[in-house]
């Protein structure tokens, strides 16, 4: 099988100051990574993960799930190494959802709450399982799907790349059919747009994946755009795999609403291991919850500089006025 066509769209959304999502579109390999961490550490984590995949030809003789798992493990090593050597990057991590078209299959590798979907014959299936607090609560029957959708801690993930020396990645293969469309996306899409609406948009623009992913991002922004939004889509077609890889330009079209965005959402992405969920569960005053609430991007220095500039300009204006009056 080969990659017939593919497209990507990534957007800051309407509430965040920066886009900490990253993606890889180097057919036959595709991925999304949603970074987390204070200041700009989330961006660093997701970028490190993405660049590990882009330089991943040297994964040796490995193939299939072993290769994808090794790539995620290597990304984990690089992010963890940086986070333990650079105090500004301490505790950072990232989700990773990877898809590689290989032979008659698509290999999926996955950590975190980004997702892979398969659209086949008009139906959409979520291939990955969210490694998230909310999903754990859903599985144990403590939450209904409706409650899960609006849960204040829905950004809390139970596994991440780079937060521990080792990572437990899901890796599996899907038999590929001619015409299958795979979608990889960050939670900024799936928290804002229902699955049936995602399928509807993919179906409506099935002949133009570029329009499809842009429509998905637009829908997420219409739904509130509370988080960074990234969507990567590719279609599988009969034929030989593409050997040469080409990189798509990064889509950066900040709209005015994004630029005017004000406070960060109170809930930020954080990691709680599954075995600690009950201890941490829903306790607003828990240390992690407080740490998450404190995790504001360090844009204060920029604001201080702006304030000083304004004061300076005002002083100059007053001086000019005084000078004019005295003449």
10 neighbors 25 (Cβ within 8 angstroms):
no
Binding test (CB under 5 A) with Mn ion, winner from 34, 170, 226, 268: 34
227 lies in the binding site for Mn ion (CB under 5 A): yes
Residue 103 Rama label (left phi>0; alpha psi -120 to 50; beta): left
How long is the chain? 327
**Cβ distance to Mn ion smaller for residue 136 or 227:** 227
Binding residues among 160-179 for Mn ion as defined by CB under 5 A: none
Considering the complex, what minimum distance in angstroms separates the CB of residue 154 from Mn ion?
Answer: 10
- Dihedrals φ, ψ of 159, to 5°? -140, 145
**Binding mask 102-141 vs Mn ion (x if CB under 5 A, - otherwise)?**
----------------------------------------
CB under 5 A: which stretch of 184-192, 254-262, 279-287, 311-319 binds Mn ion? 184-192
CB under 5 A: which stretch of 45-53, 219-227, 300-308, 309-317 binds Mn ion? 219-227
230 neighbors 49 (Cβ within 8 angstroms):
no
CB under 5 A: which stretch of 97-105, 206-214, 225-233, 240-248 binds Mn ion? 225-233
Considering the complex, what minimum distance in angstroms separates the CB of residue 15 from Mn ion?
Answer: 11
**Cβ distance to Mn ion smaller for residue 26 or 186:** 186
* Tokens (6 digits) for 163: 């937060």
226 lies in the binding site for Mn ion (CB under 5 A): no
**Cβ distance to Mn ion smaller for residue 28 or 223:** 223
Q: Rounded CA gap, 13 and 25, in Å?
A: 21
Q: What is the side-by-side order of every strand in the sheet holding 123-126?
A: 2-11, 229-237, 181-185, 115-120, 123-126
43 lies in the binding site for Mn ion (CB under 5 A): no
Name the CA radius of gyration of the chain, rounded: 22
Q: 22 pairs with which residues across the strands? A: 33
187 lies in the binding site for Mn ion (CB under 5 A): yes
Q: 200-208 — which CB contacts under 8 Å span 24+ positions? A: 202/119, 202/124, 202/233, 203/119, 203/122, 206/181
CB under 5 A: which stretch of 26-34, 142-150, 204-212, 238-246 binds Mn ion? 26-34
Total chain residues near Mn ion (CB under 5 A): 5
**Cβ distance to Mn ion smaller for residue 96 or 101:** 96
Considering the complex, what minimum distance in angstroms separates the CB of residue 34 from Mn ion?
Answer: 4
Q: Which helix (H) or strand (E) holds 136?
A: helix 133-139
Which spans of this chain sit near Mn ion (rule: CB under 5 A)? Answer: 34, 186-188, 227
């Amino acid at each position: 099988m080969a990659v017939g066509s593919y497209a990507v769209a990534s957007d800051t959304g309407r509430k965040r100051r920066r886009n900490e999502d990253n993606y890889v579109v180097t057919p036959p390999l595709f991925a999304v990574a949603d970074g987390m961490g204070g200041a700009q550490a989330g961006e660093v984590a997701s970028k490190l993960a993405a660049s590990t995949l882009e330089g991943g030809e040297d994964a040796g003789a490995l193939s299939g799930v072993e290769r994808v798992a090794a790539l995620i493990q290597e990304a984990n090593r690089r992010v963890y190494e940086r986070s333990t050597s650079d105090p500004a990057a301490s505790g950072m991590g990232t989700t990773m959802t990877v898809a590689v078209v290989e032979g008659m299959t698509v290999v999926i590798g996955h950590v975190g709450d980004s997702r892979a979907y398969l659209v086949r014959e008009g139906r959409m299936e979520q291939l990955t399982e969210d490694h998230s607090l909310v999903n754990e609560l859903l599985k144990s029957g403590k939450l209904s799907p409706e409650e899960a959708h609006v849960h204040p801690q829905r950004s809390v993930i139970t596994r991440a790349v780079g937060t521990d020396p080792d990572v437990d990645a899901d890796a599996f293969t899907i038999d590929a059919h001619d015409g299958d469309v795979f979608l990889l996306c960050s939670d900024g899409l799936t928290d804002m747009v229902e699955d049936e609406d995602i399928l509807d948009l993919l179906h409506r623009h099935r002949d133009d994946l570029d329009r499809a992913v842009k429509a998905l991002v637009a829908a997420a922004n219409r739904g509130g755009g509370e988080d960074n939004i990234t969507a990567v889509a590719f279609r599988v077609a009969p034929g030989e795999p593409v050997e040469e890889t080409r990189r798509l330009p990064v889509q950066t079209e900040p709209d005015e609403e994004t630029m005017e965005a004000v406070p960060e959402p109170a809930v930020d992405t954080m990691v709680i291991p599954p075995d600690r969920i009950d201890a941490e569960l829903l306790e607003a005053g828990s240390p992690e919850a407080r740490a998450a609430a404190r995790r504001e991007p360090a844009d204060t220095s920029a604001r201080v500089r702006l304030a000083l500039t304004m004061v300076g300009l005002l002083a100059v204006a007053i001086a000019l006025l005084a000078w004019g009056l005295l003449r």
